[in-house]
Structures are given as structure tokens and as C-alpha cells.
Amino acid sequence: MKIVESLKIKEKVYIEKLKNGLTIMIIPKKTTNKKFVIWGTHFGSINNHFIVPNTNEEITLPDGVAHFLEHKMFEQENGINSLDKLMALGVDPNAYTTNNHTAYYFECTTNFEQALDELMDYVQHPYFTDENVEKEKGIIGQEIKMYEDDPGWQLYIHALECMYQKNPIKIDIAGTVESISKIDKDILYKSYETFYHPSNMAMVICGNFVPEEILEEVKKRLIKREEQGEIRRIYEEEDSAIQQKYKETFMEVSTPLFAIGFKDKIEQKDIIKRHIAIEILLNMLIGKSASLYQELYSEGLLMAEPDISYDFSEQYAYVLITGQSKNPKKIEERLKEEIKRQIENFDVEQFERLKRKVYGDFVVEYNNISDISRMFLSDFFKGINSLEYIEQYGSVSTEYTKQILTEVFDEKNEIMSIVQPKG
């Protein structure tokens, strides 16, 4: 196995790419009794147009297939729901779908081998019928309607709609009631055969394991699959400009919610370095220790510390700042002033302090086996080894961060979504 090690934080990841194409990452943790396994496929909500390997058939899926497939994977031909079976073993199982991947996982302290048996059984044995697919449409339809009534989710979706014109990231991960009505068992099987091939999947295992031993345990539970070529994913070309500047919605909220976003260019070169710089800048501009946040909070303009994030893949990249305020437009105005102030007079002392803080936050994640496992899986599908963040922190200089500040936090890239109280 290939070993990637960070001497700075004394962490290792053992990486093996099997003959069938599956990549397995093992992160030994000798100081914990907990064990965590997550198995993911590079198939998310944005992967709805592609060319099937080996046959060259071009397929366009209805919105929401990846999420629908995730829901159906637990149901087995013998009538047993694998989620229930795993819970009966005393383990903590679940699954999720994002824009670019789907994952199935469990965490446990006991019954590890039985749980691994079940996980690797249900993920490799889909069971779809006309009846169980139709039944699921009702369940997911209710979930979609629930999110349509969720102010926080609508705030997020509307922010993406403001930023993106054609990119499917702006479409709800679950799809719409109309789009899922077009899903049938044939679509699910076709999607499964294409995207749930080992060559399009990865597994992360974290806990007190001997890497060579747990690797063999996984290998003997894998079923044989025919070789598959590369999946060619098709995306419409997205303009760098935002779609619209502002969107306002009225819902049942007591205080307005706001999202301020900045559409970033899709920049794969130095993406880790760029990500670190943006995290530092977000903390400098409106993080908990920033002077702007302290002022807004003391004036009663911010109800609490805002959520700050940067998300990216090979198809999208954006900054998002969300929170609650009686006057969201005043928050936007003051943020613009702070960005301008930092561009004109960059606070080097604050930069150095928050650079250390962001580094510390990242290191702390390695204390939680579920956090680091999810992180390694997510980063893998972006072409990144998570330990690279530790190694590249030192290369993020003051000058580079000032350059990113000017480039990313440009007013022409900025949007605002607001959910106002009804009436």
C-alpha cells in the first residue's frame, strides 16, 4: 500500500487501489475504540448527463436520481431493510447524497464485522421493482415538499439560483415532484451499473486497525464486476457572470434570513492553497473574532455568528455567508465596506493570527474519526488528499491572500438571497 504521512500532525493514510478500480483509504487510530467505515460513489445530483462506458450510450437522467437511488439501496429482496438491521446490531448507520457524491456509512464500537458484512452486501446488491419504486416516490415527494417549506433550505437554493445560470448545482438534490415521477426501476439499474462500479467508488476506514488486515477483510467481501471504462460526464458551459444580483422570498420566519454569496471561478490549479486563503479571509471579514462581527452583534444587527463556507468541485466554486438579521441589506453594505477597507489596508497582524486559528481548526478535525473519514472521501472525489491541507498551510502568504481577496470578493461576483417574514 501507498502511505501518505504528515509529520506535522503525526497522521498517516494507507491507500490501495485494487485491480477492480476501487480506492481504499485506511486511517489507523490506535487511541480510540470507535470504528468508522464510509463507502462512496462519485455520483451526485449534478451528474445527470453522461455517456455510459463500453456502450457509448448518451443518457440524460431526471433530476433527483442520485438521491432516489440512495434511498432505495437499503431495501433488500428478502424484505429486510439494511438500515434497520445495522441499527439492531447497535451500530450508527446512515447515508447521504451531495452535489457530487453519494455515501453509505456506519460507526460502531462492537459488531464491526457483522456491520461490514451488511454494508458491503446491500451496497453491492440493489433491488428495485415497479412497486417499491412507486412507493418511494410518495416518500421522497413528501421530503421535497418539506424542504420547500424550509426557510433555510430555500435561502440556500435561491442563492445558488442567483449565482448559476445553467449549472445543475442550482437544482435541489432531491429533484422535484415532477422530475422524480419520471424515475423507474430501469433508470435506477442503469445509474447503479454505471456509477456504482468499483472504479467510480472509494472507501475510507478509520479506527484501531492493522491496515493490511482490514484491507483483506474488505477484499474478500467484494463481488466480481466486469471492467468499466471512464464515465464521460457532460455539463453545459457556465458563464462566469452571475445569473441575478438579488432574490427575495417571503416565508414563515420571525427574523429575516440572509445569504451573501460570491461566485468564484473554477480554478483547479492551487485549489487547496486558494481554499485555505478564502477560509482565512472569511474569518478576517466576518468571523467571530472579526471587528465587523463584534460591531454588528453589539448593534443588534446580527443575531449570532454567521455561517461562513467555501464549496468547490471541478464544476463550481462559491463563497457563502448566511445568518439572521433585522436588516440584511445593512449587513451587506457593512461587509462591502470591510472588504474595501481590507483591500486598501490589509491587516497583516489579523491575518497571521487567523491563519493559525484556521490551521488549528483543521488539525482538531483529526480527533474525530467520522469527520476525517467524510473529509477524505469528499476530497478524494475532488482529486485531493486531505493531508495536503496540512502541508500547504505554510505556503499561504500575505501577498497571495491579498490577491485572492481582490479576485474572489469582487462586487460583480456578489449575490444576495433574503427570506423575509410574511407580512
Rounded to whole angstroms, the Cα distance separating 383 from 313 reads 9
* Cβ–Cβ under 8 Å, residues 57 and 137: no
pLDDT band at 423 (very low <50, low <70, confident <90, very high): confident
344 pLDDT exceeds 80? yes
Which residues are registered as beta bridge partners of 419? 249, 257
pLDDT band at 89 (very low <50, low <70, confident <90, very high): very high
267 pLDDT exceeds 80? no
Digit-coded pLDDT (tens) for 203-232: 999 999 999 999 999 999 999 998 899 999
Rounded to whole angstroms, the Cα distance separating 182 from 335 reads 44
Give all domains of the chain, ordered by start, each with its CATH number.
2-233 (3.30.830.10), 246-421 (3.30.830.10)
pLDDT confidence of residue 53: 93
pTM of structure: 0.94
pLDDT band at 339 (very low <50, low <70, confident <90, very high): very high
Selection from 196, 171, 136, 202 nearest residue 45 by Cα: 171
269 pLDDT exceeds 90? no
- Helices 271-286, 291-298: inter-axial angle, 10-degree rounding: 40
Selection from 259, 289, 296 nearest residue 360 by Cα: 289
Alpha carbon 337 to its chain's center:
31
The 10 Å CB-count burial string (b at 16+, else e) for 200-215 is bbbbbbbbebebeebb
Amino acid at 155: L
Mean pLDDT of the chain: 95
Contacts of 236 (CB under 8 A, 6+ apart): 166, 167
Tell me whether strands 92-97 and 102-108 are parallel, antiparallel or unpaired: antiparallel
Q: Catalogue the active-site residues.
A: 70
* Cβ–Cβ under 8 Å, residues 370 and 36: yes
* Cβ–Cβ under 8 Å, residues 103 and 377: yes
Q: Residue range 228-243: average pLDDT? A: 93
pLDDT band at 266 (very low <50, low <70, confident <90, very high): confident
12, HSE (Cβ side, Cα atoms, 13 Å) = 12
pLDDT confidence of residue 52: 94
Rg (CA), the chain: 23
Digit-coded pLDDT (tens) for 34-52: 999 999 999 999 999 999 9
Digit-coded pLDDT (tens) for 382-419: 999 999 999 999 999 999 999 999 999 999 999 999 99
pLDDT confidence of residue 357: 94
* Cβ–Cβ under 8 Å, residues 24 and 216: no
Amino acid at 212: E
Rounded to whole angstroms, the Cα distance separating 226 from 194 reads 11
Selection from 172, 152, 170 nearest residue 65 by Cα: 172
pLDDT confidence of residue 354: 96
Digit-coded pLDDT (tens) for 109-157: 999 999 999 999 999 999 999 999 999 999 999 999 999 999 999 999 9
Share of the chain above pLDDT 90, in %: 94
Digit-coded pLDDT (tens) for 302-318: 989 999 999 999 899 99
Q: Is the dihedral of CA 204, 208, 212, 217 positive or negative?
A: negative
299 pLDDT exceeds 90? yes
Rounded to whole angstroms, the Cα distance separating 336 from 284 reads 13
Alpha carbon 115 to its chain's center:
25
Rounded to whole angstroms, the Cα distance separating 347 from 343 reads 9
Digit-coded pLDDT (tens) for 147-205: 999 999 999 999 999 999 999 999 999 999 999 999 999 999 999 999 999 999 999 99
Cell numbers for 252, please give them.
Answer: 414563515
pLDDT confidence of residue 391: 92
